[in-house]
Amino acid sequence: MKSRTLFQKIWDNHVVTQEKGAPVLLYIDAHILHEVTTPQAFANLRKKGLKVRRAGLTFATCDHNVSTIDQHNIRDAISRLQVETLYKNCHDFGIPLYGLDSPYQGIVHVIGPELGITQPGMTIVCGDSHTSTHGAFGNLSFGIGTTEVEYVLATQCLLQNPMKTMKIIIDGKLGKGVSAKDIILTVISKIGTKGGVGYCIEYTGETIKELNMEERMTICNMSIEAGARAGMIAPDDITFNYLKGRKFSPKGKKWDGAVKYWKTLKSDKDAKYDNVIKIDAGKIAPLITWGTDPSTGITTKEKIPNPKYAKSENERKNMERALSYMDLKPGMKLEGFPINYVFIGSCTNARLSDLREASKIIKGRKVKNGVNAWVVPGSRQVKLAAEKEGLDKIFKDAGFDWRWSGCSACIAMNDDKIPAGKYCISTSNRNYEGRQGPGARTFLASPIMAAAAAIEGKIVDVRKYL
Amino acid sequence: MKKFTKIASTCLPIETENIDTDQIVPARFLKITTREGFGKYLFYDWRFDKNGKPKENKYFDYSNNRSIKILVAGNNFGCGSSREHAVWALQDFGFETIISSSFGDIFYNNCLKNALLPVVLKPVELNKLFKILEKNSKTKITIDLIDQEVIVGDNYIFSFPIDNFRKTCLLKGVDELGYIFSHEKNISAFERRHQIFISR
Ligand code: SF4
C-alpha cells in the first residue's frame, strides 16, 4: 500500500462515499456545540422538520457569553437568551449539555479533551475555529460554520475536499522559560497568518514528542492563526496516559482495542507532504506580539520593525495600521512597556499546567499596583483541580482575580472586556483590533510571561525569574 | 439557497489585508439567535464610534454604499473566527460577491453555503483591479459564474477558480443537504462498519 500521512489515514477512514465530480462525504465522529454558532442551525432543523442523527455523538456547553464572576447571573439579556436557547435546543433534541449547573462546564476546547471525548483517529468538528486544538490527540479536528453545524446535526456528515498537508518538524532542546506558546508564535511568525491556508499541519520532531498533552493542545490550538484549519500531532504513550480513565474514554477490553488501533496512527516513514518546514527549538525565545495579528511575535529585546523596510506596499500599510492602533513606534523595544491588564485564560492557555507554571512565578509576589490581573480557568474541572493544589490561593494572595470558567476576555462577548486604549498582556490567541473589547490593545504571550508582567506592571523577559 | 449566475455592479474597494471576521462583525454582536439583520453591524467599529455615532472612515458613507454588490478586499479576507455571522452581515448589507486574492478557509466555505460568491484572483490581478478602481471608483464590473470570469469594462477579463460541485449548487440554487441526504443508504452502511470509541 502507498505510504500515507496521518492526515490521509484518518481521512480515508472517514470517507463514506465519493461520487465523480463531487467532494468526499466525510463522516464526523464527534460534534461539540456552544451557544454562539448553533442557534440558527437548530432553527433550520425545526423549520425543515429534521432530527439530530447522532445525539450521542454530540456534546454541548456554554462558554462565550458566560459571566466569570457570577456564572448563574448573565446580566445581559441577549447573552442570557443565547445560553437559554442552547439549553432548550439540547433539551428538545436530546443532546447532552454541560451547562452552567454542570461540574464539567468550560470552554469547548478544554472540556472535549478533559472528558475524553477527544480521542485519536477521530473526526471532530465544532462551530468554532479553534477546534484545531483537539488535533493534539492525533485526530482530524476543524472549525465549521453554522450551516455546516446544521448539516452535521442532521446527517453526521460533511462534504469536504481533502486538505493539503504540511509537516512542521521541531527538533532540539527548548531553553529555559520557553513554552509551547512560544513555539506556536514562532511557527506563525515564520509562515505568516495565511501560510497555512488550505493545509492540515502535522507537528512532529523530538521537541513535540516531549511535550505534555496540554502543551500540544496550545500548539494545535493556534494552527488557525497561521491560516490552517487543522493541526495534529501523532498520538503516543503521553496521549494514551492522558486519556485513560476519562469519562468518555473506552474502558476495559475496549480500551485495549482502542490503544491497539491508536498505535497505528502515525505517518508512514516515506509519506509525502505538500510542504515541510523545520524549526530549531533551541533558537526559540519567549515571544510577545506587538501588532494586531498573531504573526508579530518578537522578544522583549528586539526592536519593533519599521514599516519603511516592509517587503511590500501592502505589508507597509498593514504595519502602519497596527502601529497606530497599538500606539507603538517602530524601533521601540517592548521590554519595560507598561501594561494595564493581565489575562490568563482562554482555550489556548488556561489548563492546569498553564496555571501551575504561572503560579510559580507569582508565588510570594504581588501584582503591581494599578494592574488588573485575572485568572480564568478553562473549565470547572481545571478550576477545581487548581484549587485542590492551592493555586487559587497563590493567585489571590498576589492580587489576581480568581474567576469562574469561560471564554472571558479572549472575546469580550461577556462582561470581561479590556477598556479602549488599555494594554492587556493576554494568554489568548488573537490580538485583532477590538478582539478584547472595542479599542483594546492586546499583547499575546505565554502564561509565565503574563505572570511576570503582572508583577512588574510592564513587559519583561520572564527568564529573569527563573 | 439563492441562485447565483451573473451580476454587474460598482465595487467597494478595501485594500486592507488580513481583515478578520472580528472586524467584519465584532463578537459582541454575535448574541442574536437569528440570521437576519446583521448588516447594521457590518464593520461596526470602523463605521461607528463608541457612542454608536457614525464616524469618519475611508470606506463607508451613507448615501450609496448599500447598492454596491461587490466588495474587493485585500489578501486573506475573512481569516480568524468561524462565525458565519460575517457572511450574513455582508449579505444583509447588500454584497453578493467578495473578491480577494485569498480567503480564510472557513469563511470561504461559509460564503458558498450562503450563495455569497467568493472570487479568488491572482495577487497581480487584484492589484490591477485596485488600481483601476482607484482611478475610477464608478467602474462597473461583471461577475459571471458560468464562465468563471470577472469582466472589467472592455479591457480586462480575469478568470477565477471554483470547485465544480459548488459551482453547480450555486447555479441551481440548491444547498448540500439534499445531496447528503440522498446518500442515506451509504451513511447507514458506513455507520455499521465504522468504530467510534466514545463510551459512557
Ligand atoms: S477561549 Fe477564545 S478562542 Fe477559545 S473558544 Fe473561547 S472565544 Fe474562542
pLDDT of residue B56: 85
| pLDDT tens digits for range A442-455 | 999 999 999 999 99
pLDDT at A274 over 80: yes
CA distances from A250 to A42, A103, A109, A123, B138 (A): 30, 21, 20, 17, 63
Residues A347, A143: contact at Cβ < 8 Å? no
pLDDT at A133 over 90: yes
Substitution target in A40, A80, A87, A229 with the highest count of B β-carbons within 10 Å is A40
Q: DSSP 3-state assignment of B178? A: helix
Q: How confident is the model at residue B62 (pLDDT cuts 50, 70, 90)?
A: low
Through-space distance between the first and last CA atoms of chain A, rounded to whole angstroms:
50
Q: DSSP 3-state assignment of B197? A: coil
All 3 cell numbers of residue B21?
471576521
pLDDT of residue B57: 85
Task: Tell me what the pLDDT averaged over chain B comes to.
Answer: 94
B 77-136 residues with CB below 8 A of A? Answer: 79-84, 87, 102-106, 109-110, 113-114
B 144-173 residues with CB below 8 A of A? Answer: 163-165
**Shared fold status for A6-262 and A287-465:** yes
Q: Does B200 touch chain A (CB under 8 A)?
A: yes
- Residue A347's closest CA among A75, A61, A37, A42? A61
Q: Is A437 left (phi over 0), alpha (psi -120 to 50) or beta?
A: left
Of A43, A249, A318, the CB nearest to B18: A318
Please, what are the domains in chain B?
Answer: 6-162 (3.20.19.10), 164-200 (no CATH)
Distance CA A334, CA A250 (A): 48
Residues A82, A73: contact at Cβ < 8 Å? no
Return the residue whose CA atom lies nearest to atom 4 of ligand 1: A347
What helix, strand, coil percent values describe chain A, rounded to 5? 40, 15, 45
pLDDT of residue A75: 85
Instruction: State phi, psi for B198 to the nearest 5 degrees.
Output: -65, 125
DSSP B9: E
Through-space distance between the first and last CA atoms of chain B, rounded to whole angstroms:
39
Q: Rounded mean pLDDT of A27-54?
A: 97
Of A145, A156, A314, the CB nearest to B113: A145
Q: What is the CATH T-level fold of the domain A287-465, as seen in this structure?
A: Aconitase; domain 3 (3.30.499)
Substitution target in A18, A47, A432 with the highest count of B β-carbons within 10 Å is A432
pTM above 0.90, yes or no: yes
Task: Tell me what the pLDDT averaged over chain A comes to.
Answer: 97
DSSP A373: E
Greater model confidence, A78 or A158: A158
* ipTM score for this prediction: 0.94
Q: How confident is the model at residue A308 (pLDDT cuts 50, 70, 90)?
A: very high
CB contacts, 8 Å: A82 with chain B: 31-33
- Residue B196's closest CA among A28, A32, A291? A28
Buried b (16+ CB within 10 A) or exposed e, B19-42: bbbbbbbbbbbbbbbebeebbebb
Q: Rounded mean pLDDT of B109-115?
A: 97
Q: What is the CATH T-level fold of the domain A6-262, as seen in this structure?
A: Aconitase; domain 3 (3.30.499)
Percent of chain A with pLDDT over 90: 96
DSSP A464: G
Domain limits, chain A: 6-262, 287-465
